[in-house]
A and B are shown apart, each in its own frame.
Chain A
Amino acid sequence: MATLAPPVTETGRRTTPAASPARRRGRRGGSRAGRPGPVAYTLLTLVALVSIFPLYWTLVAGSHTNAEIAATPPPFLPNASLFENFQLALEQAPIGKAILNSVLVSGAITVGTVLFCTLAGFAFAKLAFRGKGLLLALVIGTMMVPTQLSVIPLFMMIAELQWVNQLQAVILPTLVSAFGVFFMRQYLISALPNELLEAGRVDGASTFRIFWSIVVPVARPAMAVLAMLTFLTAWNEFFWPLIALTTANPTVQVALAGLGSGYVPQRSVIMAGTLLGTLPVLIVFTILGKQIVGGIMQGAVKG
């Protein structure tokens, strides 16, 4: 989760009084000067190619035989062996099961994180209670503590509970995120007018009712962004799943880690497996990429 920390945290520091009116102008008009020359386009295209190429190479290498990718010059277009290699990869590592597990794990983590962080974010944004400042400071402080520092007792705990190799061992510890709480708080402070809450209260709605029918609808855009970022992060989580699960009941990342450890590493099969494991997230990214970019940008700008 630490990876998600920068946008919002960084925001606050930048929000000097002088910056806020100018920010709006900047966003609307693109404050920077002018149109780029051909050099800029060339450089950007180059970077775009470098960004995509390893993924494209996964497809190329995964769709040839070992001998074919070892040839000079190497092939540069995908080939027909792709599905054969998929099949081999599926035989060597339980990738199908891993994808199902990853969907379950990431889905559960996303639902939990979005729900709990919206609850807590709302409380921190709009309710006052004793010790709120201290608790909020604690939330933010935790964004700095690396996961690796908790891993040893965590493993002892799940060993004691006999949860090793069970999905809940991966889900539960990641069910909340400090970043999410902070993100929702920052959003709700400005997006949720106090009048709305008062209106609800005047109508005699219960606190839960107010949350469900007033806060959640207002928070929906931020919840969507948080959901996407959380899903991506949960899907890609590597360190803790590797420790808590085995290759018998893996998430995608654990399965991928085990894929290379055969006697004779078959490079094309490894690549096909990598492609299989990456495909779901690439599909999500292709559909929602614009929103994810917007979310990261918004996270960074939102004050």
Chain B
Amino acid sequence: MTIASGTVREAAIAAPPPTSAATSPARPRKRRQLTRNRWGYAYVAPFFLVFTAFSLYPFMYTAWVSLHETSLSNINGGTWVGLENYRELLQSEFFWNAARNTLTIGILATVPQLCMALGLAHLLNYKLRGRTFFRTVMLMPYATSIAAATLVFSQLFGRDYGLINTMLEAVGLDRIDWEAGTVSSQVAIAVIVTWRWTGYNALIYLAAMQSIPGELYEAAEIDGASKWKQFLHVTIPSLRPTILFTIVVSTIGAVQLFGEPLLFAGNGTTSGGASGQYQTLGLLMYQQGWSNFHIGQAATTAWAMFMIILVIVGVNAVIGRLRARADR
């Protein structure tokens, strides 16, 4: 939590200066009047009440549960087993299988997605005819739910009647049993994720691109840089913080991947395919808790997921900071 909040906090703290610098020097006296206000607590109270009851407390409690052998109906404990659940988890082939799958699906889903979003944002940044239309249409998948998207795609990827196999056959290729293979099923799931999120990320990149000063491009053009060179040497470096941020957010999403593998076979099985070939950590956790009733194990898996997120976010934050320093 510390590392995670650290990065975002830095973001938040970086934000205010321009505005507050603009307002404060002119009216120091008036500002002071506004600063004394006990009502502040009343205003933030609803947020913190709900948040503490339904997020913070359960979050902490998950750690406690992970040290117990317990069942779903037993809120007050179960048997204390210490780190036994963690030991079991690290020795479990299911965990390592799920961790591996989460990693590969995560890479398959985020890398092409963010690259495409970047290219797409570049195109959307031109003075386009019908730009609102393009932007809106590209955000449509984001408005579609995981359940709906997965059900549709699982039909498109169907072995016998799926449209994708029909098309493959039409161009002379072999049909693929998308769900059965490890690589094929993971690619298919990554496609669903990519479909839903590319447009959204493109809009975020686009917003950041529009804040790049035009002079930078003019200067580059005077230096004789081609459009491609400008993209590489002006656009990408200017977007670096935004890119880093989308990487972090997509990674967190990828570690939690759940709905897509659950519904990919159409019927909500928690095993992630016949041989667990696309069982993710999220799915494993759900299976442990709600199919096998090993709630302590599920809590352990949840914490393992959180640890993975912390490590990834931490590594990204360090890389980001180093690169920022190198730029200076």
Which A residues fall within an 8 A CB radius of B?
2-3, 5-7, 9-20, 22-23, 25-27, 29-36, 40-41, 43-44, 47-48, 50-52, 54-55, 57-58, 61, 69-70, 72-74, 115-117, 119-120, 122-124, 126-129, 132, 135-157, 159-160, 172-173, 175-176, 178, 181-182, 186, 189-190, 194-195, 197-198, 201, 207, 211, 232, 235-236, 238-239, 243, 252-253, 256-261, 265, 267, 270-271, 274, 277-278, 281-282, 284-285, 289-290, 292-293, 296-298, 300-301, 303
Contacts and interface: CB of A to CB of B under 8 A. Distances in A.
B184 interface: no
B59 A145 contact: yes
Contact of A31 (B12, B149, B210): B210
Given A9-B245, A34-B127, A119-B47, A271 B155 contact: yes
Interface in B135-183: 135-149, 151-156, 158, 160-161, 163, 166, 170
A149 to B, nearest CB: 5
A31 B212 contact: yes
Given A128-B35, A256-B147, A289-B136, A159 B73 contact: yes
Contact of B303 (A149, A186, A271): A149
Nearest to B70: A156
Which 4 pairs between the two chains have the least Cβ-Cβ distance? A141-B5, A12-B15, A129-B40, A22-B213
Nearest to A21: B213
B305 interface: yes
Interface of B: 1, 4-5, 8-20, 23, 27, 30-31, 33-44, 46-48, 50-51, 54-59, 61-62, 65, 72-75, 120, 123-128, 132-149, 151-156, 158, 160-161, 163, 166, 170, 195, 198-200, 203-204, 206-215, 217, 221, 227, 241-242, 245-246, 249, 252-253, 255-256, 258-259, 262-263, 266-268, 282, 285-286, 289-290, 295, 298-299, 302-303, 305-306, 309, 313
Contacts of B10: 13
A145 B1 contact: yes
Given A54-B149, A189-B19, A194-B34, A129 B204 contact: no
A181 B268 contact: no
Contact of B246 (A6, A70, A147): A6
A300 B205 CA distance: 9
B298 A152 contact: yes
A54 B200 CA distance: 17
Contact of A127 (B40, B133, B198, B255): B40
Given A2-B252, A297-B206, A238 B62 contact: no
A67 to B, nearest CB: 10
Contacts of A267: 155, 158, 161
A148 to B, nearest CB: 6
Nearest to B197: A3
Given A2-B253, A260-B268, 13 more contacts: A10-B204, A14-B241, A31-B210, A33-B217, A57-B152, A127-B34, A127-B40, A139-B47, A142-B55, A157-B75, A239-B282, A267-B161, A290-B136
B309 A146 contact: yes
Contacts of A285: 136, 139-140, 143
A119 B46 contact: yes
Given A13-B11, A25-B213, A51 B138 contact: yes
B136 A173 contact: no
B44 to A, nearest CB: 4
B51 A142 contact: yes
Contacts of B151: 256, 259-260, 270-271, 274
A227 B250 CA distance: 23
Nearest to A3: B253
Contact of B54 (A135, A154, A290): A154
B253 to A, nearest CB: 7
20 contacts: A22-B211, A32-B214, A120-B46, A128-B37, A135-B48, A142-B56, A144-B313, A148-B256, A149-B305, A152-B65, A153-B65, A173-B54, A194-B23, A243-B290, A257-B268, A265-B267, A270-B155, A278-B145, A290-B132, A293-B139
